[in-house]
Structures are given as C-alpha cells and as structure tokens.
Amino acid sequence: MSHRTDIEIARAARKRPIQEIGARLGIPAEDLIPYGHDKAKVGQGFIASLRDRPDGKLILVTAINPTPAGEGKTTTTVGLGDGLNRIGKRAVVCIREASLGPNFGMKGGAAGGGMAQVVPMEDMNLHFTGDFHAITAAHNLLSAMIDNHIHWGNALDIDQRRVVWRRVMDMNDRALRDVVVSLGGVANGFPRQTGFDITVASEVMAILCLARDLGDLEARLGEIVVAYRRDRTPVRCRDLKADGAMAVLLRDAMQPNLVQTLENTPAFVHGGPFANIAHGCNSVIATTTALKLGEYVVTEAGFGADLGAEKFFDIKCRKAGLTPAAAVIVATVRALKMNGGVARADLGAEDVEAVRRGCPNLGRHVANVKGFGVPVVVAINHFAGDTEAEIEAVRAYAAEQGAEAILCRHWAEGSAGIEDLARKVVELAEGGGGNFAPLYPDAMPLMEKIETIARRIYHAGEVVADKAVREQLRAWEAEGHGHLPVCMAKTPYSFSTDPGLRGAPTGHVVPVREVRLSAGAGFVVAICGEIMTMPGLPRVPAAETIRLNAAGQIEGLF
C-alpha cells in the first residue's frame, strides 16, 4: 500500500521516451509527432497504412451509478491495461482528455490514481497537446462567421432569433452563460442574445470524437445546423463555407495522442465530449488505431453504465462498427453502501446489510450490459476499509446475477493487484460468448428510441414529452434525421431522472424537456432534467492555491 499522493507517485514515474512506447506498438519514430519527450501524436499516414490489419479485442470499462464515495473507473481502466500486459497480452489503454477549465474550480486530476495512472499528469490536466484549444478556435470561428454573415447583408436569410450555434470557452465562467453580443453600434453588428458553453460541450468535440478521418471530419462539420430561417429551414455550417477552415484548425487535433501508464503501457488519450449532451467516449480514431496496434484495447465510457455504456454501444460502436468483446463493471463496497442508504460520513463502519441493499444497482447494470450481448465481469475496486464480509456479499450477489466479481488492488499494487481480473477478461473475450447488438435499430422512430432506452435500461414506467417535443422529433424525421441514434442527457446519479433516487428504481417517469439536433455529430439529444453546459467557479476556486513552487513544479492542481 502506497502512502504517497497521486501527484507524488506521478512525479516519481519512470517514464520511457515516447518513441520507445511507440516502438512497442510498432510505430516508427518518424510517424510520431513529439510534444515534449513524453507525449506524441500518431501521424495520419501511419494510421491510414493500418487499414487492412485485423483488430484486437475491445474491452469496455463502465460502472455502477456514480456516488460521492468514488468508483475508480479510470483507475481500473488504466490498471486493467497494465494487468493485461503483465499476463502477456499486448494491451493499449484508451481514455478521454481532461478539460482545462474545471481544474481551476475544484481540484482536478483525470488520469487515474494511486499506482494506476497515466502520465504526464500535469500536462494532461493543462494544455496537453492543444486539442481542446483547437476545438475552441474551430467552434468560435464558425460563431464569428455567422454574425459576420448577418452583418454583411445576411444573404442566407438567417433568422437572428433562431441562431442555435453559441460560442465556447474552456473555462468555468458563469458570467458567459447568457450574454447579449453586438452592442455598441452599427460597426459591431446586430445585437442578439446568446451564450457560451464550456468547450467539452461543443458539437465540434463530439464530431472530432466520432469522425473516422479528416475527410469524414470535414463532412460532419459541414452538416452542423447553426441556425434556422423564418420558414424553419436549417442553415448549415457548409452554407457559411466554414467547414474547410474548421477542418484546417482541427487537422493536428484529429491525430490521437500517445502517452504511457506508470508501468509504461501505451495509452491513447484523445477527445473528451460531455457525457450528457454528448456521448462521453474517447475518439473513434484513437480506438480504431489502438485496435490495429494492440491485442487488447481497454477503454471507458462516462458516468455509470446506464448513460456511458448505453451511449458507447448505441452511438460509438454502432457508428464506428465496433464490437466490444467484454465489459467490466466497476463497483466499490463504499459506493454500494451509499446505494444501500448509508450516508457518506458513515462509510467507515462495516455494514454488510447496506452492501446487500445497494447491490441491485449493480445487478441492473450487469443485466443491461448483458442485454447488449456483451460478456460481463464485475471489478470490486478495493478500498482500505472494506471488510471481507462486505466483499463476499458483493461476490455472492454478482454470482446470483451470473457474473463473477473480482477484487482488484491496482490502486495500491499496480498490475500485480489486478491479474485475476485481466485473466477473467481474456477468458470472456476469447470465450466466444459475445453477441453484440445495439439496443434498437436505426429505423425505429426517434420517440420510440427514447422510450426503448427509458424502459429497457432505466426501467422507467413512462416517458412524458410535450407536444412541441414530439412534433420536433417528427419534423427531424421528415427532414431525414430519423435514422440517428438518441443521446440521453439525464442525471448520472440514478437510473431515474431524480439524482436522489439510488439503487434500482422502477416505474418512474422520464420527462423529456427538450430535444436538440447534433446533425454533424450524428445524434439527437433528449434532455431529461437540468443540464449545465457552462460550469461556474466555487466560492473559493482551486485557482487561488494553484501555483509554481520554487522548483518550477505545479502545486495545488491535484
């Protein structure tokens, strides 16, 4: 058991030069574009050259519904990658990039923890290789071109009241949520009300993460609906001729970033779309590239399996033609106790009954993932205070659901602590028991897709939506968007839309308040609850204590 902090462990990492990490995957040094000595992008020519190779096996790491107790999904993803390498499988980890802005609000650190981390940790939580800055620039170029087009005569006849494309900034800045622009007179354009979202909420982010290559990226950018005319016909990015320049701004950002774990396992860290109004997975291009280079690719999806795994299967896998070979559902004794009604302050005491009461949350996720035809194993991410009886209760419950639950000590021990899980994953992936299929067919009407997810995954009793919402969905179907998957935006804390309703509720009502079209990304967003797309800073922001120490190291970021 380590008594060092995550950042102390990360700083002490014995990193290998990134060219050496690339060489393990057969990437020649000239096809790695270095960003410092420990980060690199993989060249597009090299990626294109891999086209005809067979794919490795894709392993999804997902989780029970998140609680304040912490589940450790990223830590388990990283640890499993190391564990697979330890048992002789050439494994690659694929995770998301972190957003810069939120680090200055609460303490950050989105690269795993303990002995299961990806490094360089500081860089990954700051500018990294500049991908998010490129997305910000591409998004805001389109915004500027919209107002510029209106300013110079509005030949496309955009209804200024129906501009739906906002601006973005990678910063927690509540003052920008709702703004009036173009004040100050004729030279500054026509005043109108709009706002900023945080960069990870940009449709450009979702597009970058779903595009197969640069050509597909540009085509998807062109499809973005930015505004409507008075007659409600859409105005697209392509109509403004912004798609080419946006693709230029995103050219480098489209190339996956290669880094390494503490144990020098190759890790692709690329893309990071919101997990509510977008699909919450790392980029398709990173995943498909990793599948050509590794025998095993371990990746994760945002939030719990009700949101993250469902979108991973129904959006990312469907669109990219991916077939997951197995899924790991991460649970902790502590989080199951919270699902069983224990308050956070009382998590220290043994409470086997509470664990048992919380287990149905795990059980439903197991059944849901199995329902996609994907073999499942449960990872019990070990915390120091867990008792043997509590752990046994989880094991017994999982066995009743037809899933093995394996205790994992990767946080404290690295790959040595997660060998059993790695072996089980290989057994499942190579056992031929998988039979993956998305939850619903493309041809199903949009409202029916929403109802299918709500009933089959959330176990809701009813979906309610205003006439305006239903009409909007029908209008999009009439315009040819009916084949798109739906992207559910609801609280991650419950199967229901009530964040306080833990466990495995049934018969609840899912209200669809609003629907949005992400025509470029290729999905329809169903918003079921308050979704915040621009965070604010807390009363005492972490920024107040973030600084460089005398050695030039960053303090306060983690």
233-252 binders of a copy of itself (CB under 8 A): 240-245, 247-249, 251-252
Tokens of 70: 């912490």
536 annotated as belonging to a binding site for a ligand: no
Q: What is the DSSP letter of 316?
A: I
Q: How far apart are the first and last CA of the chain?
A: 20
* Closer CB to a copy of itself, 24 or 133, in the complex: 133
Q: C-beta of 548: minimal distance to a copy of itself in Å?
A: 6
Show Cβ contacts of residue 142 under 8 Å, excluding neighbours closer than 6 positions.
165, 204, 224, 226, 237, 240, 242, 246
Q: Is 96 a catalytic residue?
A: yes
- Contact map string, positions 514 to 553, toward a copy of itself, x by CB under 8 A: ----------------------xx-x-xxxxxxxx---x-
Q: Which is nearer to a copy of itself, 184 or 500 (CB)?
A: 184
Residue 412 dihedral angles phi and psi, to the nearest 5°: -90, -30
Stretch of residues binding a copy of itself (CB under 8 A), selected from 168-176, 408-416, 429-437, 507-515: 168-176
Whether 478 has a binding-site annotation, put simply, is no
Task: Count the residues of the shown chain that bind a copy of itself, applying the rule CB under 8 A.
Answer: 76
Dihedral sign for Cα 70, 73, 74, 80, please.
positive
Q: Is the peptide bond before 120 cis (omega within 30 degrees of 0)?
A: yes
Active-site residue among 303, 312, 495, 558?
A: 303
CA dist 138 and 204 (Å) reads 8
Cβ of residue 114: shortest distance to a copy of itself, in angstroms?
24
Q: Does 551 carry a binding-site annotation? A: no
Binding residue per annotation — 71? Answer: yes
Tokens standing for 365?
């996720």
Q: Among residue numbers 252 through 311, which ones bind a copy of itself (CB under 8 A)?
A: 252
- 35 forms part of the interface with a copy of itself (CB under 8 A): yes
Q: Does 200 bind a copy of itself (CB under 8 A)?
A: no
Please report which helix (H) or strand (E) contains residue 327, including its range.
strand 324-331
Nearer to a copy of itself, 179 or 509 (CB): 179
Tell me how far, at minimum, the Cβ of 180 lies from a copy of itself, in Å: 4
| DSSP H or E segment with residue 368 | helix 352-371
Site for a copy of itself in 480-509 (CB under 8 A): none
Q: Give the whole-angstrom CA distance, residue 209 versus residue 518.
A: 13
152 makes contact with a copy of itself (CB under 8 A): yes
Which residues, 206 to 225, sit near a copy of itself by CB under 8 A?
A: 214, 218
327 as an active site residue: the answer is no
**Could you say which DSSP state residue 317 is in?**
I
Instruction: For tokens 């779309």, name the residue.
Output: 273
Cβ–Cβ under 8 Å, residues 397 and 356: yes
Binding region for a copy of itself (CB under 8 A) out of 183-191, 230-238, 311-319, 484-492: 183-191
Residue 275 known to be catalytic = yes
From the candidates 196, 411, 476, 495, give the one annotated as an active-site residue: 411
Contacts of 530 (CB under 8 A, 6+ apart): none
Choose among 297, 290, 266: nearest CA to 16: 266
Q: Which two tokens stand for residue 430?
A: 């190579």
Q: Give the helix/strand (H/E) hosting 548.
A: strand 547-548
Q: Is 68 annotated as a binding residue?
A: yes
- 104 has catalytic annotation: no
Answer yes or no: 73 catalytic.
Answer: yes
Q: Which stretch binds a copy of itself (CB under 8 A): 113-121, 151-159, 202-210, 435-443?
A: 151-159
> Which residue of the set 24, 383, 456, 513 is catalytic?
383
Question: Which run of H or E residues covers position 448?
Answer: helix 446-456
C-beta of 189: minimal distance to a copy of itself in Å?
A: 5
Q: Least Å distance between CB 132 and a copy of itself?
A: 9
**By the rule CB under 8 A, 183 interacts with a copy of itself:** yes
Q: Residues 73, 334, 357, 424: which is the catalytic one?
A: 73
Cβ pair 366, 376 in contact under 8 A: yes
**Which residues within the stretch 91-150 sit at the binding site for a copy of itself (CB under 8 A)?**
100, 104, 126-127, 130, 133-134, 136-137, 140-141, 143-145, 147-148
User: Quick check: is 411 catalytic?
Assistant: yes
CB 296 within 8 A of CB 57: yes
Q: Which of 39, 57, 89, 96 is catalytic?
A: 96
CA distances from 303 to 72, 201, 493 (A): 11, 15, 8
| Euclidean distance between CA atoms 256 and 187, whole angstroms | 41
449 is an annotated ligand-binding site residue: no
- 390 marked as part of a ligand binding site: no
Taking the complex as a whole, the smallest distance from the CB of residue 60 to a copy of itself amounts, in Å, to 32
- Evaluate whether 60 touches 309 at the Cβ level (below 8 Å): yes
Q: Could you tell me if 25 and 291 are in contact, meaning their C-beta atoms sit under 8 angstroms apart?
A: no
Q: How far is the CB of 116 from a copy of itself (least distance, A)?
A: 25
Catalytic residues: 73, 75, 96, 107, 275, 303, 383, 411
Q: List the binding residues.
A: 67-74
Annotated binding site for ATP: 67-74
